[in-house]
Structures are given as structure tokens and as C-alpha cells.
Structure 1
Amino acid sequence: MTKLQRILIGLLIVQVILAGVVLWPRGVAAVAKEPLFPGLNADNVVRLTIAGNEGSSVELARQGDAWVLANGGDYPAIGESITAVIAKIAAAQTDRLVAQTAVSQKQLQVADDDFVRHVTLETSDGETFEFYMGSAPSTSTTHVRRAGEEATYLVANLNVWEISQLASSWVDTAYVELDEATVTAVTLQNANGTFTFHKTGPDEWVMDDLAADETFNRGNFNLILNRGASLRLTRPLGKEAQPAYGMDTPQASLTLTVESDNASGVYTLDVGTALENGNAVVKWSGSPYYAEVSPFTVENLLNFGRSDFLEVPTPEAETGG
């Protein structure tokens, strides 16, 4: 090895060390313990906006003493969960400084264009508190950076899972809830036809218009009955019908007649078109809100035909043996 080669190798080693010093995030440094968000009073927060790194977001707003999903037609939200998260944010401290460089922001996933959560709080007196949440070294700590600042902190008692960008994390997802035992009649209408069922006794059902040689498939009917009595949403869509929902000509309609001492009536669940994300739009007559649901929850309503409600004849039955 020549002298020149040794010099070049030495310079390369120095460059690698310097790059590591400049680019690598610092260890946790103890600094003065102060509020991460000075002046933030949890009781004054009137809006909480949370965005994920894949484009989804949720906007929660306070209306009087209640909270609603502002980007879901003011669908009722779970206020206790929201206020608990806001209290944790207000309690965050600056005593664990991790990094102070722009390069480290991407490594820790707290950059303006590379983050896990982007959170904004608005208060009743017009103040805004904005920050980014990134990687989590443990289940109880998360890297956090205030918007517009270089410093990144390791914050305890905050995690991205409880500060979710999904609407389903902040609302009661039970969209349809009926006592199945009170349902006395069911009609399913879809592209395959119209199929009607009636209750003849406790947990006894028949299918209308059965031929003499046909046997009712109770198992598949139960799938329809169960769906009509219980359905969970992934996201409320508001009270206003949109052309994209396809509700002028639903792809399927499920009608249930309910009779009980407390409530009697007829309810309808309409299934509209699929959205770009593959989820389906539904409208339950017992709610003023349209809702987005997982496609598997309505696939039987869309696809079942007459043959699905009939038992398949055995070879012995077909031959009379």
C-alpha cells in the first residue's frame, strides 16, 4: 500500500465518522422539564385533527359538551376518548431531547413530508398547536416534533395507536342494532331477484313460494338475518346523499319487519356502490347517516340468489331412494 493510498483511506475513515456524527440521531439528552406545548389548556381545545401517512384523516370537533366527527357529517363521537388523548398531549414534556437536525427528522419519521401522525389542536381562543408523531422506541414512548421547529423529543405516554387517523377509533361503530328475536319477516331484493321469509314460531322460519320438492336452507338465511340485525361501520359519511353512493338504484335492499312490546316497525338496509377503496356504502332507515362498511359484510346481500336459500338435494332424494 502506497503512502497516497494510506492517506486516502484515512480521509475516507474521517469522512465516515463525521457523517455519522452529523446525521445519526443523538441519544436522549436531559434538558429542562417544561411543557412541550406551553399555553395549551386541554379544556379549551375545540378541534382535533389527526392525519396519517397514507392520506386518511379524522376531524373531531366539540359542540357544547359533546364531540362529533366533523368530517363525517357531525356523527356523534366518543367524547371520553377524545378528552383523554387531549389531556395526554397537554401533559407532554420537553425533558428528553433526541435530535436537533432536519436530517434526523426523516430518520425519526417526524418530518413535514415523512411522518406517522400529523396532529393539530385548535382552541376556543384561536390558538393552534401542531406537531408530528414518528417512530416509537417502546410501547410507552414516541418521537414528537413541534411543527416549525427542529428539535425532536422522546415523549412518554403518547402512542400513534391511541391517536388514530381512523374514524372508527372515535365513534361507536354499531350502525345497525336490532334484537334478532323481534324480527318477524325478511325480504331481500338484489340483482338475482326478490326473496321473502316469514317467522312461524320461536326461531322457526319459512321461505315463501317454495316448491313441493324444495327444502329451505336455514343456514344461509341466518347469514342474512344476522346482517340485518347487526352491522358495524368503518366510517360515517354524513346525512347528505351523494351521486357516488348509488342510492337512487341500490344494488341490494334488505327489509325487516320488527314486532316487540317496545318497538314495532319496518326497517330497510340499502346497499349502494363500492367506493374507490373497495368499501361499500349503505343506508339504514333507522339512522339519518349514510355509512361506509367493509365489503365482506354485505357480500351475501349482493350475491345470494334463490339457490342459496335451498338445500342441495342428495343423490338418494333425487332418485327416490
Structure 2
Amino acid sequence: MNRTIKLLSVVLVVQIALAVVVWGTRSSTTVASHEALIPEAKKATEIVLEDPEEGRLTLRQKDGEWFLEDDTKADSNRVKRLLDTLSELTESFPVARSDDARNRFKVAEDEFRRKVTLRRGEDALATLLVGSSPAMGESHIRLADADAIYRAELPVYELPPDRSSWQAPEPEPEPEQQAGPESAPEPEQETSATAPEAEQDGGSDNA
């Protein structure tokens, strides 16, 4: 009896030890590293924004400026803000990793709300899938070559695939030169007494 109890105790201790090891390993794989999700985002020279229904839009950098596909000048400030936002995304605590979750959060290869592809020349930097919105101003995101699904401050409305949203604004017209204040008219000079008046004055003196 005592021997059986001891054996069961040993088995229980082993099971507890295994549970601790497995739990520790699982926890270490899901701890948020807070490293940059797309560390080379700012090096991109080409951005492709794709919507399953509205099509795609390509932005390319030339000589430090950004352009649309037909060489129409793009809003470089807005493009730079987008790259800043992408570079600030981090590997936070993943909300899911499974294949089913990809479809549920709309970050699957064949089901997404936006696909953002970054390239530098011919080299692919990253492909980011942007899906459902868990809260205002947030989206579920996943790198196409990774399993982890994150929750990030990247609203879909900041990734419109239409050219009007990215086209550079028209330059403001130069203000018209205002005319100076009108010069006041010169005062009329007082005229001297007329000759007849002078003669009358002289005649009155002779009288």
C-alpha cells in the first residue's frame, strides 16, 4: 500500500513538472517582443494598396518624390506618414495564430480588407494583410509570411486604393497684388482776381 502511494506520488510530481515545462515553453512563444513588425518600412520605394473589391493602387518614389502610376505627382507628405505608421507597428501580444482565425479576422490570403505590399526596387520588403476592426481606429493585421495575428492602430480608411486620395493637392493660387491707396486729388489753386474786378477796384479809387 505504501509502495503504491509512493509510486503515485512520483507520477504526480512528474506530471506537474511536465506541465510546468510545457506551459513555460508556450508562454515564451507568445510573449510580446515589441520589436518592429516591418523594420525596413521607411526604405520602401514602391507601395501597392489592394482592396478585393475596389482594385489596387501603386505608388512609386522617383528622385525623392512620390508619384502615381501615370507619373501624376502624389501627396508625398501623406505617403511618408503612412510609412511612418507602418514602421511603428510592433510585434505585440498576438491575438491568434490558427488558420481559422485568419478567416475570422479577415487576414487570410484570399480574404482581407486591405493588402499592403512594400518593395525596394525589385526586392520585396513586406506584405501586410489588414482585416477586421476590433475597435475604432484599429485593425487586425498579419504579415503574409507569418502566423501571428496582431491588433494594431491602423484603420482601414488610412489605406484607400483610389488615386484621388493620394494625388498631390493643387497649389494654391498666388494672391493678387493689391493696388496702393489712391492718391488724394491735388487742391485747386486759388485764382487771382480777374481783370474786370481789378479795373472796378481802380475805378472806384479814381471816383
Task: Return the offset for 1:50.
Answer: 0.2
Superposed CA offset, 1:124-162 (max 9, x none): 582421110001112232110101222111112x11111
Letter of the 1:146 partner, please give it. Answer: L
1:67 maps to 66
Q: Secondary structure at the match of 2:90?
A: coil
Alignment partner, residue 166 of structure 2 = 170
- The residue aligned with 1:49 is 48
Identity among equivalent pairs (%): 24
Preserved CA contact (<8 Å) 2:128 2:142: yes
Check whether the contact 2:102–2:108 (CA below 8 A) recurs between aligned residues.
Answer: yes
Q: Within 5 A, what are the aligned runs for 1:119-138?
A: 119-124=116-121, 126-138=123-135
- Look up the match of 2:34: 33
Per-residue CA deviations over 1:89-129 (Å, capped at 9, x if unaligned) read: 01100113111011111110111111000110012582421
**Aligned-pair distance for 1:173?**
6.4
Q: Aligned match of 1:161 in 157, 164, 185?
A: 157
- The alpha-carbon distance between structure 1 residues 41 and 51, as it changes in their structure 2 partners (threshold 3 A), is closer
For the residues of structure 1 that align with 2:102 and 2:41, how far apart are their CA atoms?
A: 27
Counterpart Cα distance in 2 of 1:148 and 1:167: 28
Deviations 1:51-105 (A, max 9, x none): 01204111000001211002xx111100000011011101100113111011111
The alignment of Structure 1 onto Structure 2 pairs a total of residues equal to: 147
CA distance in structure 2 between the partners assigned to 1:41 and 1:146 by the alignment = 13
Q: Which runs of 4+ in 1 moved over 2 A?
A: 124-128
Residues 85 and 117 (structure 1 numbering): CA distance in 2 closer, same or farther, change over 3 Å?
A: same
Matches within 5 A, 1:138-287: 138-156=135-153, 158-172=154-168
Which structure has more strand as a fraction of its residues? 1
Instruction: After TM superposition, list the pairs within 5 Å mapping 1:88-127 onto structure 2.
Output: 88-124=85-121, 126-127=123-124
Call closer, same or farther: CA 1:41–1:108 in 2, change over 3 Å: closer
Q: Is contact 1:109-1:134 (8 Å) kept?
A: yes
| 8 A contact 1:96–1:155 mirrored in 2 | no
Q: Which residue of 2 aligns with 1:76?
A: 73
State the distance in 1 between where 2:59 and 2:168 align: 14
Task: Give the Cα–Cα distance (whole angstroms) in 2 for the partners of residues 67 and 171 of structure 1.
Answer: 10
| Residues in 2 aligned to 1:41 and 1:125: alpha-carbon distance in whole angstroms | 15
CA RMSD of aligned residues (A): 2.5
Secondary structure of 2:150 counterpart:
strand
- The structure that is helix-richer by fraction is 2
Letter matched to residue 71 of structure 2: D
Task: Check the 8 A contact 2:41/2:118 in 1, yes or no.
Answer: no
Q: Deviations over 1:146-190 (max 9, x none)?
A: 01222111112x11111111111101466xx99xxxxxxxxxxxx
> Contact conserved, 1:133 with 1:143, CA < 8 A, in 2?
yes
Larger relative contact order (CA 8 Å, sep ≥ 6) = 2
SS class of match (2:119)? strand
Describe the superposition over 1:219-251 as per-residue Cα deviations: whole angstroms up to 9, x where unpaired.
Answer: xxxxxxxxxxxxxxxxxxxxxxxxxxxxxxxxx
2:103 alignment partner AA: K
Structure 2 unaligned runs (5+)?
1-29, 178-207
Per the alignment, residue 21 of structure 1 pairs with none
Larger radius of gyration between Structure 1 and Structure 2: 2
CA contact 1:50–1:57 (8 Å) conserved in 2: yes
TM-score by length of 2: 0.64
Query: What is the DSSP-based 3-state SS (H/G/I as helix, E as strand, rest coil) of the residue aligned with 2:83?
Result: helix
Inter-partner Cα distance in structure 1 for 2:61 and 2:131: 26
